[in-house]
Chains A and B, each alone.
Chain A
């Protein structure tokens, strides 16, 4: 067991994956000598060479689509998208090609690739550097979408994602890259399992990625008010670990879903729909969503008002408890 930042945990996870399988290679902008703008791939090109850690031209469609070709040749590309808002040029290849080739080929083609995306705001960035676009991809059949929230998951989930035969969008909470935490000697659970990260009895709080820490802080504060929140880190957005989610909501009878992405047609909408369908007779209150407002990501000077925080989570908790 060792203590690492989330960024270093990803780096060590990538290194382990590359050591385990010579077909694994990394592709992205500035990931070689520079180690990526967040230094996630620092030192890897030096150790694994330019053929396996590839500095690509600055063209996201080209990166993802050449990764498809590499996968067709038997490689396992791990693509780094530099910032969330830069993935859209590659959107066509992700939803039209990556997601569909296995089915189109009646199972003959597999694309075991991982697309890493640093996600979310809260770092005072300029436009297009703070977006949460996971719902676009979770909506697309053929893709799996996972999100890590802490160093242990970062280290192990990236290895599990790379080893998995399906294409996976891997979201990294960019404002938590510098959070430190223990990294265990073995993965704590299956890649697609949720984690009841803090047990409680009064309200289920569902979160993933950067919002998990905010929700844990909210739970801490709520405890001082005598409220017991059960915080679940979803970890996987598709598939959803519905067994864990429904079991918790049936126990607490109340649920708040928290994400940075806008609430309209976001993950919270899907979760609320499924929970009301499957836990209808256990619910004491409507499922509430806490998320970004349905506006373009605002200028960073006012992003704190856009992003859910401890107080907005507690406000929603109070409202579900008022029923």
Chain B
């Protein structure tokens, strides 16, 4: 039997030669035969829009982290450092497409037009994900790791049955995007999603933000083979893109979504990025990673590199950048104010929407709690 090579254990410190990059960390535009035409389709206004998105998303994210530190949120999962991966992919979606997020896709939520107050409400504990997913085609956050990749696949199978794939009608053909992380790539659900999507040729793009850390566990504890290479085993293309390069992420995602809408089936994208902050506000990354690594990634910052590109290659001046910062201040202050004003839900609301139709246990227990709470009324007066 011929000996087969074992893949050496990976030591992922940069994206390697397969990684698609269109803008270097220094802000230089790199040409790419396949993806240049997609970037050429963008106006300067579009690219400035990406910059504005990233600045605002970072501000929303930082505001939420601050609110958690002040005790106003129970928890927050920061997306600091992942703005390009989220804005680039989020802006590649069309209105009829459907996104299935994890619990960290604040930038994608922004691109879909979901009010960030909804996200904060969940982490504040006033609801468990209380927005209408069908309003912006953005599903509820999913905390169980990887579960949403299968929901996305099933949704895409529904799209196929609605004949909303490959018709050539730009407003009809629909793609689905499933977000997940490097940690989730170890979950069986993700493997099953790849199988179901593959055999059904479903119009779903699996978008993995490899932010290098699954809480405290680095890539080498999660995988032997780089994630994007895994697609081959399931029969669809896998691409690694520089997830800190918003133009590259946009172009790679748009190509995959276009293919999916066209009926060519699923794709896997690995956005190579970095979680600059903690996993959540309960985490302390200084216990497991060295600051030198964080310093390296600071130099790859997604916002700084686009700013350099805009200034150098597009002649964008200080006025625009200042306006973005000023808008971020307004958005942040407004969000803070609205977060603090969020009312607690009524205790009796826990019985709402457990079932669509009446259920006698809900009726009985609601009455019991109502009576119990009512028994305290006026107690302080006596």
| A105–B151 CB distance below 8 A | no
B350-380 residues with Cβ-Cβ distance < 8 A to A are 352-357, 359-361
A110 with B140: in contact, given A57-B195, A57-B196, A75-B161 (CB under 8 Å)?
A: no
A235-253 residues with Cβ-Cβ distance < 8 A to B are 238-240, 242
A62-81 residues with Cβ-Cβ distance < 8 A to B are 62, 65-75
Question: A73 touches which one: B150, B159, B360 (CB < 8 A)?
Answer: B159
Closest to B158 in A: A73
Asked whether any CB of chain B lies closer than 8 Å to the CB of A296, the reply is no
In the bound complex, residues from chain A placing their C-beta under 8 Å from that of B357 are 164-166
Question: B353 touches which one: A65, A75, A93, A102 (CB < 8 A)?
Answer: A102
In the bound complex, residues from chain B placing their C-beta under 8 Å from that of A62 are 150, 153, 189, 192-193, 195-196
Asked whether any CB of chain A lies closer than 8 Å to the CB of B23, the reply is no
Best-surrounded residue of B130, B199, B354, B357 (most CB of chain A within 10 A): B354
Question: A110 touches which one: B153, B356, B360 (CB < 8 A)?
Answer: B356
| B360–A239 CB distance below 8 A | yes
In the bound complex, residues from chain B placing their C-beta under 8 Å from that of A16 are none
Question: A239 touches which one: B140, B161, B359 (CB < 8 A)?
Answer: B359
In the bound complex, residues from chain A placing their C-beta under 8 Å from that of B153 are 62, 65-66, 69
Asked whether any CB of chain A lies closer than 8 Å to the CB of B144, the reply is yes
**Interface residue count on the A side (C-beta < 8 Å):** 44
| A74–B128 CB distance below 8 A | no
Q: Tell me the number of A-to-B contacts counted with CB atoms below 8 Å.
A: 138
| A69–B355 CB distance below 8 A | no
| B356–A72 CB distance below 8 A | no
Shortest CB–CB separation between residue B150 and chain A, in angstroms? 3
Closest 8 CB pairs of A and B: A69-B154, A73-B158, A66-B154, A65-B150, A62-B192, A69-B155, A165-B356, A108-B132
Question: A97 touches which one: B147, B188, B360 (CB < 8 A)?
Answer: B147
- Between A and B, 9 residue pairs with Cβ closer than 8 Å are A61-B188, A61-B189, A69-B156, A70-B157, A72-B158, A102-B354, A102-B355, A107-B352, A242-B360
In addition to A69-B157, A105-B133, A164-B357, 17 A-B residue pairs with Cβ atoms within 8 Å of each other are A61-B189, A62-B189, A62-B195, A65-B153, A65-B193, A69-B151, A69-B155, A70-B158, A70-B161, A72-B133, A92-B147, A103-B353, A104-B129, A106-B130, A110-B356, A141-B354, A165-B356
| A104–B130 CB distance below 8 A | yes
Shortest CB–CB separation between residue B281 and chain A, in angstroms? 22
In the bound complex, residues from chain A placing their C-beta under 8 Å from that of B160 are 51
In the bound complex, residues from chain A placing their C-beta under 8 Å from that of B147 are 65, 92-93, 96-97
A144 with B355: in contact, given A62-B150, A66-B157, A74-B158 (CB under 8 Å)?
A: yes
| A103–B155 CB distance below 8 A | no
Residues of B bordering A, CB below 8 Å: 127-134, 139-140, 142, 144, 147, 150-162, 188-189, 192-193, 195-196, 199, 352-357, 359-361
The distance in angstroms between the C-alpha atoms of A92 and B148, with both chains bound, is: 12
In the bound complex, residues from chain A placing their C-beta under 8 Å from that of B159 are 73
Closest to B128 in A: A104
Closest to B194 in A: A62
In the bound complex, residues from chain A placing their C-beta under 8 Å from that of B128 are 100, 103-104
Interface bits A218-232 vs B (CB < 8 Å: 1, else 0): 000000000000000
In the bound complex, residues from chain A placing their C-beta under 8 Å from that of B193 are 62, 65
Question: A72 touches which one: B127, B154, B161, B189 (CB < 8 A)?
Answer: B154
Shortest CB–CB separation between residue A179 and chain B, in angstroms? 30
Shortest CB–CB separation between residue B76 and chain A, in angstroms? 19
| A66–B195 CB distance below 8 A | no
Closest to A52 in B: B161
In the bound complex, residues from chain A placing their C-beta under 8 Å from that of B133 are 72, 105, 108-109
A66 with B196: in contact, given A73-B158, A101-B140, A108-B134 (CB under 8 Å)?
A: yes
In the bound complex, residues from chain A placing their C-beta under 8 Å from that of B355 are 102, 142, 144, 166
Closest to B135 in A: A108
In the bound complex, residues from chain B placing their C-beta under 8 Å from that of A59 are 192, 195-196
| A68–B154 CB distance below 8 A | yes
Closest to B130 in A: A106
Asked whether any CB of chain B lies closer than 8 Å to the CB of A282, the reply is no
In the bound complex, residues from chain B placing their C-beta under 8 Å from that of A70 are 154-155, 157-158, 161
The distance in angstroms between the C-alpha atoms of A119 and B382, with both chains bound, is: 58
Question: B151 touches which one: A56, A97, A110, A239 (CB < 8 A)?
Answer: A97
| A72–B155 CB distance below 8 A | yes
The distance in angstroms between the C-alpha atoms of A286 and B193, with both chains bound, is: 50
Shortest CB–CB separation between residue B216 and chain A, in angstroms? 23
In the bound complex, residues from chain B placing their C-beta under 8 Å from that of A71 are 154
A56 with B196: in contact, given A61-B150, A72-B133, A97-B144 (CB under 8 Å)?
A: yes
| B139–A72 CB distance below 8 A | yes
Question: B129 touches which one: A61, A105, A107 (CB < 8 A)?
Answer: A105
In the bound complex, residues from chain B placing their C-beta under 8 Å from that of A109 are 133-134, 140
A105 with B130: in contact, given A72-B139, A166-B356 (CB under 8 Å)?
A: yes
The distance in angstroms between the C-alpha atoms of A239 and B355, with both chains bound, is: 11
